[in-house]
Amino acid sequence: MESIKIDGSPKTPEVNFDYQTGLIEIKGRSIPENSIEFYKPMIDWLEEYTNSPQDKTTVQIQLEYFNTSSSKCILDVFKKLEGISKNGKEIEINWYYEEDDEDMLEAGEDYQSIIRIPFKMIEIEE
Amino acid sequence: MEEKKIYSFSSDVIDYDSVNEALSSISNIIDTMHFPSQLRRGLYMISAECFDNMYKHSQKVLSDFPVFFEIFYCRDEIRFVASNPVSTKSAQKIQTYLRFINYLSDEELKSHYFTTIKTEKKTKKGGAGLGLLILKRKTNCPFEYNFEQKSKKTTIFTLVLKLSLKSMKLYRISETEHTPLIQFDFKHENIVMYGQSRPEDADGFYIDICNWIAENESDFAAMERPVLHVDLDYYNSSSLKNLVRFIRVVIQHSAPSLKIEWTCDSDDELAMDDAQEISRIVKKKFVLLEK
C-alpha cells in the first residue's frame, strides 16, 4: 500500500498516512474549500488499510483549527479507525491541543464520546 | 462606551479568494487587539464559519443583493453581523431552525450536535445545520436574526452573533491616544497594560480603575497565580504616581503569589530606573523583561 504525504498550507493540514509504520498524522489548520474532496483520498486509503491493518496503528491529530465541513470528514476518519479497532487491532489516538485551547480539548472530547476508542489528550505547552 | 466597528466586508460576489483575503485581514486585526489567545481563536473561528456559510449560500442563490459581514466591539461584547441573500423557500426553514437552536439548553445543544454530526448527510455544500450548531456552541448569547423578503425568490437573511466578554470574565478598558489598554482576564489569571499613559486627568482615570478593582475584589481574590504584565511605551510624570497607586491596589486585592512583569527597553535607563523605583515603593519584586 502506498503512503499519503501532503504538505500543509494555511488552509489545509499536513497529512502523513504511512502504511509501514501504521502511523496516521493530521496536523495544522483544516479549512479547505472543499473538505470532502480534500479528505477523500484519506478515507479511501483507510478503506483499503482496513483489509490488512498493522497490529498497532498510531494516530496523531494536532489541529489548530478546523471548520464545520472538516469536522464531519474527521469524524469519517475516526469511524474507519473504529472499524479496524472492532476487528481486534490496536488503535492509539493522540489528540493534541495547545495549553489554553479549551475549544480544541472540547472538540477532542466530543469525538471521543462518539467513537468507541479512548483518546489520549495531550497538552502542548506554548 | 461607544461601539466600534473593527471590521467590515461587503461585496456583490463572494469567491474563495475573497474569503481568504477577508479571513487574513480579520486575523491581523484580532492580533492587534491584544485579546487572550483563546478569544482570538474564537473570533477567527466564528468569522471563518460565517464566511463559509455566506460563500455556500452565494453559490446557491443568484441575486443582486450584496453579502456583508461586520464585527463590532464595545467594552463587554463582540458582535458579528452576517448578511446574505437566501432563497425565500429556504428562509422559512432557516428561521424555524434558528428558533429551535435558541430554545435548546447547553446540554441539549451538545446532544443535538452529536446526533447531527452522526446522522446528517454530507453534501458538497456542507451541512448548514451543523455550522449553526457550532456557532451557537461557540457564542454564549442567543442568535438574533432577521429575514427580509425582497422578491418571490430572494430573501435577505441577517444573522447577529454575540460574544459576551463579561461571561468570559474578561474586562477591558480600550486603548485611546492618551490612555493604555488595560485588560483583566480573570479566567486566565492575568492583567495586562499596553500602550501609552498620558491622560488629561491622570488622577481621575486611575482612581476610576482602582475603584473598579475594589468593587470586583472577589474576582481578584479568586485568582490563584495572577500575573500583572505592564508594557508601556510612554507615560508622563503625572501617570507615574498613578501607576504606583494602581499597582498597590492590584497587590492589595490579589493573592501574595502575584507576579509582576515589567517590560521596558534595555537601553532606556530612565525607564529601568522607574521600574526599580516603583518596585521599591510598592515593596514587590518585578520581573524585568526586555523589549
How far apart, in whole angstroms, are the C-alpha atoms of residue B158 and residue B229? 40
Q: Quick check: A108 and A119 in contact, CB under 8 A?
A: yes
Q: How confident is the model at residue A1 (pLDDT cuts 50, 70, 90)?
A: confident
Residue with cell 461557540: B138
- In chain A, what are the domain boundaries? 29-124
CB atoms within 10 A of CB B289: 14
How far apart, in whole angstroms, are the C-alpha atoms of residue B54 and residue B63? 13
**For residue B224, is pLDDT > 90?**
yes
Report pLDDT digits (tens) over A42-68. Answer: 999 999 999 999 999 999 999 998 988
Report pLDDT digits (tens) over B72-113. Answer: 998 789 999 999 998 898 899 999 999 999 999 989 999 998
- DSSP label of B167: G
Q: Which of B117, B123, B185, B186 to mutate to test the interface with A (most CBs of A within 10 A)?
A: B117
**For residue B1, is pLDDT > 90?**
no
Mean pLDDT of chain B: 90
Please indicate whether, in this complex, the C-beta atoms of A103 and B41 are within 8 angstroms of each other. Answer: yes
Domains present along chain B, CATH in parentheses:
4-165 (3.30.565.10), 169-290 (3.30.750)
pLDDT of residue B121: 64
Residue B150 β-bridge partners: none
Instruction: Please list every residue in chain A whose beta carbon sits closer than 8 Å to the beta carbon of residue B37.
Output: 98, 100-101, 126
* Of residues B12 and B226, more confidently modeled: B226
Q: Quick check: B49 and B135 in contact, CB under 8 A?
A: yes
pLDDT of residue A68: 87
pLDDT of residue B123: 56
**For residue B10, is pLDDT > 60?**
yes
pLDDT of residue B34: 87
Residue B209 in grid coordinates = 480603575
- DSSP label of B166: G
